[in-house]
Amino acid sequence: MASSSLRSLVHDDSRYQRSFQLFLERSSEHQCMRDFINNVLPDILASIGDGKSHLNVIGVGSGAGEIDLEMLSKLHLKYPGATVDNEVVEPSKQQLHNYKVLVGQTPGLDYINFTWNCMTSSEFEQNWKEKKMTKKADFIHMIQMLYYVKDPGATISFFQSLLDKNGKLLIILVSGDSGWGKLMRTYRDDLCHTEVSQCVTTGDIKSFLESRGVRYQNYVLPSQMDITECFSEGDEKGELLLDFLTQVQDFSKTASAELKAGVLNLLRDPDCCVESDGKVIFNNNLEVIVINQLT
């Protein structure tokens, strides 16, 4: 059980957004996603259109929309004559605002109708069921968001149930074999809060899918993150990065000395990082899982 003195970072949206932004600056996460979107995603999208003139897309936990718009542009290249209904599900008002600003600044999006849902995925699911919606989706993506739900398996099952024939559900999470995976396995009981699944990795998701006999495709996305500042006592950016790595608000100030020392030692473990030219480079590998409509 996580120490009661440790508060989940998700409870402080302002600090979460600052630590997330720093994480993006210090990591190759978005670059490895872009490589995947450019080189692999077009083939995944090739089978979803099936001669349709209209496509339904749902983005779950879309953030500020940069990755969403890149995926939508690939969809448009595959199906240039199709219009798109894009349901955006994002609980952060700030991120949703940033997404809307980005859409306003991006030319050539006339083919997309955006529906903005400032809510969590579970609120979206509840809404959908209450309205008895029958609309089916051709493409659903859940990028780096299953950490913030109570039951990742149930969340996947719900969104999989919304897929149309030939539809695809795309999930991106940290790989179970990454440094982050090792951190979460080692300190799950100390860091992970019971109300959400902060310690989930693709290893857990693959086990869940296999237990249900659900077939999937998977792709590893090599990614790394410069965490050198985490080892400078009192460094403000280092503290923000530690918050993001542990998903604990003010980890450096609220964790016990023993827990803090253990986490810092593990972050430097050769299984988790490479040390080179005075920098500590953390293994932040991601993994993509692609699921089809349940048959």
DSSP string, the chain: ---TTPEEGGG-HHHHHHHHHHHHHHBSHHHHHHHHHHHTHHHHHTTT-TT-SEEEEEEES-TTSHHHHHHHHHHHHHSTT-EEEEEEE---HHHHHHHHHHHHH-SS-TTEEEEEE-S-HHHHHHHHHHTT----EEEEEEES-GGGSS-HHHHHHHHHHTEEEEEEEEEEEE-TTSHHHHHHHHHHHHH--TTS-TT--HHHHHHHHHHTT--EEEEEE--EEE-GGGGSTT-HHHHHHHHHHHTEETHHHHS-HHHHHHHHHHHTSTTTEEEETTEEEEE--EEEEEEE---
Helix 93-105 vs helix 13-26: angle between axes, to the nearest 10 degrees? 50
All residues at 6 or more sequence positions from 240 whose CB lies less than 8 Å from its CB, including other chains: 15, 18, 19, 22
Is residue 29 part of an annotated ligand binding site? Answer: yes
Confidence of residue 194 (pLDDT cuts 50, 70, 90): low
Rounded-to-integer distance, Cα 93 and Cα 16, Å: 13
Residue 189 has pLDDT above 90, yes or no: no
The predicted pLDDT at position 51 comes to 83
Q: Answer positive or negative: Cα dihedral of 203, 209, 210, 212.
A: positive
Q: What is the mean pLDDT of the chain?
A: 91
The predicted pLDDT at position 150 comes to 86
Is residue 176 part of an annotated ligand binding site? Answer: no
Is residue 143 part of an annotated ligand binding site? Answer: yes
| pLDDT average, residue stretch 98-126 | 97
Q: Answer positive or negative: Cα dihedral of 117, 118, 121, 125.
A: negative
Confidence of residue 1 (pLDDT cuts 50, 70, 90): very low
Is residue 17 part of an annotated ligand binding site? Answer: no
Confidence of residue 251 (pLDDT cuts 50, 70, 90): very high
Residue 127 has pLDDT above 90, yes or no: yes
Is residue 121 part of an annotated ligand binding site? Answer: yes
The predicted pLDDT at position 294 comes to 78
> What is the per-residue pLDDT across 7-31, written as a single tens digit (0 to 9) for each?
888 788 888 889 988 998 999 988 9
The predicted pLDDT at position 193 comes to 61
Confidence of residue 196 (pLDDT cuts 50, 70, 90): low
| pLDDT average, residue stretch 247-263 | 91
